[in-house]
Structure 1
Amino acid sequence: MLHDPAGADPLEEDVPVTSPYPFSAVVGLPDLRLALLLTAVSPAIGGVLVRGEKGTAKSTVVRGLAALLPEVDVVAGCRFACDPLSADPSCPDGPHTAGTPAAQRRSALVELPVGATEDRVVGTLDLQRALGEGVKAYEPGLLAAAHRGVLYVDEVNLLPDHLVDLLLDAAAMGRAHVERDGVSVKHAARFLLVGTMNPEEGEPRPQLVDRFGLVVGVAAPATVEPRAEVVRRRLQYENDPAGFAARYVEQDAALAGRIDAARQILPRVTLPDAQLDRIARICIAYRVDGLRADIVVARTAVAVAAWHGRTVVTKDDLRAAARLALPHRRRRDPLDPPGADQERLEEILDQELNGPDDASDDGGSDTDGPDGGPDTGGPDGGGPDSGGPDGGGPDSGGPDGGGPPPPSASTGSSDISGSSGPVDDPGGRPTPEQTMVNTSDVDGDTGPATGPAGDLAFAQAPYKTRLLKIGGRANRQQGSHAGRRSPAHGRHGRVVRSRQPSGKLVSLHLPDTVRAAALRGSRRVHARDLREAVKVGREANLVLFVVDASGSMAARQRMTVVKTAVLSLLRDAYQRRDKVGMITFRGAEATTVLEPTASHEVGVLRLAELRTGGRTPLAAGLRQAARTLHGEKRRDARRRPLLVVVTDGRATSGPDPMTVAPALAGIPAVVVDCESGPVRLGLAGRLARALSADCLPLSALSTAAIHTGS
């Protein structure tokens, strides 16, 4: 949706308002505000990703930025906001000739909803008119609307893969392409990409995170004064939105003027070779991937200098830039938790940037440090960069405005498929997978550590698992979640047949369309000849793990092998875009240690904490699984579940598990048989038959594919 900077978003506010919350009125959050202002000064930085728990003013701050952006000159009547001085030669509304009338408009803030369709993002081609009339009828999408403005994606971590791919392409090339059934349209799409996310709902794809120049973490205040000030300002804003906004008009105008002044200075800012060498040494020491980090740090440091009115980049500018641009680029494994290596970055910055300055650093220092941002204050003494109690927004800020340091990454396996083990990094903290690794052999003499709550086994390095998938195909009318596990009808994938379109034609089956016209004896294609392609791709599922953690599993270190298997399955679920959940049972009860979520890294942490011991209440685990799956079906009927029961089949506590099996009827399942030793009872196989599930020996988990029931 196209956001009007002069109005408020009714989905975010609880009361009807006519004025947006002013950017200058936000309490605290200096890192976030500075990052947004720097990208407004230099869009080449690549945008901002804002990570934070719910209710921390992420959306409020981003929407407040729109009012600060300067107006842009556009070709009058052009739907793609072409610049009159350098019009796009391939613009669908072109060609624009010299002397074309120009107009001014505010920089657009375009919001990309998580549930947007591909046509809404890149635009729509009217295939009926294109084929029947030979007219290229193109309706621009959100990427066109965001050109030379801001594209804001709330909950960017929940964005479907196909939309992420579109954003990656547009961000990399600065152009949007629509290629469909022989019809091609392309146009310029250069925008400032801003995304917000709640880490509790899972991490976005690493490729998408890498496209954001800066990443900032925010959190709610932990002390009384800033929290009280946030509520005070929020109530004032709700009582009189226009009057509240009027109090900050001058502060916002000062920031807008400072952005414009910094843009004028930016081309004259120089980056001395000494500082460029420092950037290279910092990136090497921090072990970032690729060279994009070096480029983004350099661009950000130049923007910091311009923001402070300097024409030469200093070491302070480098420090501010590195803190915003580097931490998220060090994650070696997608299941590593972010934020683990901030201390390591600070050590490297101290080593490289402390000490006497170079002669090239003569740009001088500013009274506001590079982390301080703008120095304009609000009526209560707090401006957008003040760290005091009047620094927050309607929902926001850290105790001194900043929240936690930006998220960072730890190292892990260099191969996310799990075919190789974790990478040892002497300069950083161990990953959860490294923490779980038992240095003894699975069959060695060293037993698992013992704690008061049970035995704690450690996993070995994960491996690539067999593909566990649901048979059959998801209902086409119901729809499905895009992913990489089970077959499903959808808008992407392999063409299996054609049909007459029941509504708007989305994907043309050209051979059958021409064949239908030929069978009528017509030399032209008419609307009744059109045939729609039916495609089968893959969907993401809910994979629910039910793990036996009883004492029998701890014998002969079997739990080490089991943890390794579950860890490997968790990595596989991440790669296939599944939601995951985990239930464990031991003693006398079953426990949901991980509610269904897209946060696979949380599953890794829960697995690391899993202790074993006690009796085996298998029926309780199955009963808890039935409750969880039925609850998830009410929330999201489109996502098909896959139950993975990891057990040896013994039940030494509670009722017979066969009495609970009917509650899971119709749910696709796999039983991973963990029984070992020369004498085997085959209880896991008996359970699998009761569940109408496939039974897979633990030792065979790392081989070919297996199909579950439909």
Structure 2
Amino acid sequence: MRPVSPEAPRSTGFPFTAVVGMEDLQLALILAAISPAIGGVLIRGEKGTAKSTAVRALTEILPPVDVVPGCRFSCDPDHPDPACPDGPHQESATMTRPARLVELPVGATEDRVLGSLHLEKALAEGITAYEPGLLAAAHRGLLYVDEVNLLHDHLVDVLLDAAAMGRATVERDGVSVTHPARFVLVGTMNPEEGELRPQLLDRFGLTVDVAASRDPAIRVEVMRARLTYEADPLSFVVRYDGAQRELAERIIKARDLLSEVILTDAALRQIAEICASFDVDGMRADLVTARTAVAHAAWSGRTVVEVEDVRAAAKLALPHRKRRNPFDAPGLDDEQLEQAITDSTPPEPDPDDDPDGGPDGGGPDGGGSPDDVQNDGGQDDSGERAEDSREPNENVESAPGPAPSGQVAGSSEPYKARLLSVQAAGAGVAGRRSRALTEVGRVVGDRARVGRESGRPHLLATIRSAAPHQHARGRSGPGLAVRTSDVRLAVREGREGNLVLFCVDASGSMGTKKRMGEVKTAIVSLLLDAYQRRDTVGLVTFAGADATVALPPTGSVETAVRRLESLPTGGRTPLAEGLLQASEVLRIAAIRDPRRRPLLVLVTDGRATSGDKAFARARQAAGWIGQQGIASVVVDCEPRRGVRLGLAAELAADLGAEYLDLGEVAAGNLVRAVTDRRAA
């Protein structure tokens, strides 16, 4: 690799070395640049934390790349790809260009990412004219996806294939084109907007969670740097030019040293034991941790991997691979990591140890006396835990009473939902729930192209459209005279996602803590189903004097579960306000995302506060929602014992909704009933 030349700064972008308070993020990006085999970096964090700024600034410190002149696929002159569509290449030709950062927009089409074939030239001239896409541009560089968690599933599939094979393949109408596509994948995301698919999450080698510092001094430093840069970008960049060049030279030295770093058997065993202690899935975690430890050693100027390198690698490579429940936030317990490192490090003999008495500490195990343990609170903690674990006898039924105000009931283990296919009502947002006409899926027909609209052409339909006009167009030789008006686009049937809005009665009339726990378990089960099907969810609660939007429609099902679990019960029942608030949420959601079909799930016993007049208002609100054609499900939480008023059933009739009794339907059945209702 050629050294960095002492030239002027390439651009006036914010310098990488000027980013303040993001040391872990900078280290992860640097290690991925030193060793692309690590597999890229996922950056998670709240908005406004300089995630995109740091990623875009990385290219300014990366070494330049040697490429074959004129090759649209950035082939390496020393090892040109024999199957390159622009080949064969002359091995002697070389050109050096800056490192490239290619941004993949969330709304990009598959043709834009993979590339496309020129259909008219293929039909008329019989030649394969391939227009490279973003994956070709990113080869031997960085591919950056901002808001990667919002990427459509069909684009996620494309990235997974390219990451696994190191090549991009375009199969279109009997023609196949393939080219190398090895890149460092960098993604940024806000966890509040939803999580990544597990398959894509595992493809990121490293992950970093970033947050704005709460230290006022650091926040002042960040503001000062940004304001100074905005006032005079060129002067600001020049000020950091020396640090930028020094960092770039250090990356080059680390790359050159990478092949000389020794990963000892002891380090390999330590990595394996650490990964096993965190119960990670598969072997990718072990391999990525090993590669990261080697890169960290090279970055530190060492030729042998040490414990410090393993520790740094584990902190970056394991948080998103630790086995967890779907709704648990990713993360790594520092104490558990240190314990795993200690347990996997061979002990060194200490000549000062007393062979007769054992280590210092007052006992044979060095842990103090039994009295010390008891005085530290062990007995008190045990007694408290025992008291908390006591539950009433479930075999003894008692008359349900109102839940105390502010009481929080927990949910039980959720049930797995059964996958059902439902009939689509029209075109929808790509997802995994209902049948719909989408951009991906199996071909079910064709249609005319509108204007300069892009999309996958339907080959046979295009030929049928052009064939009757060949004589009039003067075509007598081989091939077809194809015009833009002849091109037909494929109509595809896939699956769509839905907006599931829960409207939950959290008032005191919902009964016992056990009953509210059953309600939460049912809702969590449906949320688990939504997590797996990539649905959007929202949560409206009503209790006391008003209704509250506990969670606006979002893709973050994990946030919905956390809000639901912490939901207290008690107080009055403003049922009408809850329905009106839910209808307002659905109205706004329809404006923002008109293609996503909603499903309202009302969970209540129907007992509105203030008697008949309040219930009449609730019925009026329900009737108005029903007139909008919104699919609904009413879950009746009225106790089975005693006098049943049947108010929730009346609300279901006004809504035109499916009616379910919580006492008769388990959580899994609730999920199936809600799924079936989406066919309405």
TM-score (norm 2): 0.84
**Alpha-carbon contact 2:405-2:571 (below 8 Å) kept:** no
Q: Does 2:584 correspond to 1:584?
A: no
- 1:694 corresponds to which residue? 658
- 2:368 corresponds to which residue? none
- 2:509 corresponds to which residue? 552
Distance in 2 between residues matched to 1:146 and 1:59, nearest whole Å: 17
- 2:608 corresponds to which residue? 651
Q: Does 2:594 correspond to 1:637?
A: yes
For 1:303, what is the secondary structure of its paired residue?
A: helix
**Alpha-carbon contact 1:497-1:534 (below 8 Å) kept:** yes
Amino acid in the other structure paired with 1:145: A
Equivalent residue for 1:667, pick from 630, 633, 638: 630
- 1:170 corresponds to which residue? 162
Distance in 1 between residues matched to 2:279 and 2:290, nearest whole Å: 17
- 1:314 corresponds to which residue? 306
Distance in 1 between residues matched to 2:390 and 2:247, nearest whole Å: 55
- 1:333 corresponds to which residue? 325
Q: 1:127 to 1:513 in 2, by over 3 A?
A: same
Distance in 1 between residues matched to 2:299 and 2:469, nearest whole Å: 68
- 1:706 corresponds to which residue? 676
Moved more, 45-54 or 480-489: 480-489
Q: 1:444 to 1:219 in 2, by over 3 A?
A: farther
Q: Does 2:132 correspond to 1:145?
A: no
- Residue deviations 1:89-136 (CA, integer Å, cap 9, x gap): 22111122433x221101101111111111111112222322332221
Distance in 1 between residues matched to 2:74 and 2:534, nearest whole Å: 36
* CA shift for structure 1 position 515: 5.3
* CA shift for structure 1 position 342: 4.0
- Residue deviations 1:454-488 (CA, integer Å, cap 9, x gap): 3322212111236688864334xxxx421112232
Q: 1:682 to 1:135 in 2, by over 3 A?
A: farther
**Residues paired across the two proteins, number:** 615
Distance in 2 between residues matched to 1:623 and 1:547, nearest whole Å: 13
Q: 1:30 to 1:555 in 2, by over 3 A?
A: closer
- Equivalent residue runs for 1:595-610 within 5 Å: 595-610=552-567
Q: Does 2:144 correspond to 1:181?
A: no
For 2:511, what is the secondary structure of its paired residue?
A: helix
Equivalent residue for 2:61, pick from 44, 47, 68: 68
* CA shift for structure 1 position 271: 0.4
**Alpha-carbon contact 2:402-2:511 (below 8 Å) kept:** no
Unaligned 5+ segments in structure 1 are 1-5, 9-16, 359-435
Distance in 1 between residues matched to 2:392 and 2:328, nearest whole Å: 23
- Residue deviations 1:216-265 (CA, integer Å, cap 9, x gap): 11111211211111111112111111111111111111111111111111
**Alpha-carbon contact 1:669-1:709 (below 8 Å) kept:** no
Amino acid in the other structure paired with 2:151: L
Amino acid in the other structure paired with 2:544: G
- 1:42 corresponds to which residue? 35
Amino acid in the other structure paired with 1:673: D
- 1:481 corresponds to which residue? 429
**Alpha-carbon contact 2:264-2:304 (below 8 Å) kept:** yes
Equivalent residue for 1:115, pick from 103, 107, 119: 107
- 1:258 corresponds to which residue? 250
- 1:365 corresponds to which residue? none
Q: 1:453 to 1:634 in 2, by over 3 A?
A: same
- Residue deviations 1:256-300 (CA, integer Å, cap 9, x gap): 111111111111111010111111111111111110010011101
Distance in 2 between residues matched to 1:188 and 1:550, nearest whole Å: 60
- 2:376 corresponds to which residue? none
**Alpha-carbon contact 2:632-2:677 (below 8 Å) kept:** no
**Alpha-carbon contact 2:443-2:491 (below 8 Å) kept:** yes
* CA shift for structure 1 position 506: 2.7
Distance in 1 between residues matched to 2:156 and 2:290, nearest whole Å: 26
Q: 1:156 to 1:703 in 2, by over 3 A?
A: closer
Distance in 2 between residues matched to 1:451 and 1:244, nearest whole Å: 61
Q: Does 2:24 correspond to 1:55?
A: no
Moved more, 652-661 or 297-306: 652-661
- 1:565 corresponds to which residue? 522
Distance in 1 between residues matched to 2:400 and 2:179, nearest whole Å: 60
* CA shift for structure 1 position 674: 3.2
- Of the two, which has the highest radius of gyration? 2
Amino acid in the other structure paired with 2:52: S
- Equivalent residue runs for 1:75-94 within 5 Å: 75-94=68-87
Distance in 2 between residues matched to 1:26 and 1:341, nearest whole Å: 27
Q: Does 2:527 correspond to 1:534?
A: no
- Equivalent residue runs for 1:443-454 within 5 Å: 453-454=405-406
CA RMSD of aligned residues (A): 3.0
- 1:366 corresponds to which residue? none
- 1:465 corresponds to which residue? 417
Amino acid in the other structure paired with 2:17: S
**Alpha-carbon contact 1:496-1:536 (below 8 Å) kept:** yes
- Equivalent residue runs for 1:423-462 within 5 Å: 453-462=405-414
Moved more, 86-95 or 249-258: 86-95
Distance in 1 between residues matched to 2:513 and 2:235, nearest whole Å: 71
- Equivalent residue runs for 1:25-424 within 5 Å: 25-99=18-92, 101-339=93-331, 341-353=333-345, 356=348
**Alpha-carbon contact 1:550-1:612 (below 8 Å) kept:** yes
User: Percent of aligned pairs with the same residue?
Assistant: 58
Q: 1:585 to 1:307 in 2, by over 3 A?
A: same
Amino acid in the other structure paired with 1:66: T
- 2:371 corresponds to which residue? none
- 2:455 corresponds to which residue? 506
Q: 1:605 to 1:446 in 2, by over 3 A?
A: farther
Distance in 2 between residues matched to 1:446 and 1:35, nearest whole Å: 58
Moved more, 574-583 or 444-453: 444-453
Distance in 2 between residues matched to 1:128 and 1:697, nearest whole Å: 60
Q: 1:222 to 1:86 in 2, by over 3 A?
A: same
Q: 1:511 to 1:112 in 2, by over 3 A?
A: closer
**Alpha-carbon contact 1:554-1:612 (below 8 Å) kept:** no
Distance in 2 between residues matched to 1:334 and 1:502, nearest whole Å: 42
Greater per-residue helix proportion? 2
- Residue deviations 1:565-588 (CA, integer Å, cap 9, x gap): 100011111111111111112233
* CA shift for structure 1 position 72: 1.1
**Alpha-carbon contact 1:643-1:667 (below 8 Å) kept:** yes
Amino acid in the other structure paired with 1:455: Q
* CA shift for structure 1 position 52: 1.4
User: More relative contact order in 1 or in 2 (CA 8 Å, sep 6+)?
Assistant: 1
Q: 1:616 to 1:76 in 2, by over 3 A?
A: same
* CA shift for structure 1 position 680: 4.7
Distance in 2 between residues matched to 1:612 and 1:469, nearest whole Å: 35
- 1:423 corresponds to which residue? none
Q: 1:55 to 1:19 in 2, by over 3 A?
A: same
Q: 1:149 to 1:650 in 2, by over 3 A?
A: same
**Alpha-carbon contact 2:83-2:178 (below 8 Å) kept:** yes
* CA shift for structure 1 position 159: 1.2
Distance in 1 between residues matched to 2:599 and 2:639, nearest whole Å: 25
**Alpha-carbon contact 1:448-1:557 (below 8 Å) kept:** no
Unaligned 5+ segments in structure 2 are 1-6, 351-387, 472-477
Q: 1:332 to 1:116 in 2, by over 3 A?
A: same
**Alpha-carbon contact 1:315-1:357 (below 8 Å) kept:** no
Distance in 2 between residues matched to 1:247 and 1:473, nearest whole Å: 60
Distance in 2 between residues matched to 1:347 and 1:148, nearest whole Å: 39
- 2:648 corresponds to which residue? 684
Q: 1:518 to 1:566 in 2, by over 3 A?
A: same
Distance in 1 between residues matched to 2:236 and 2:349, nearest whole Å: 45
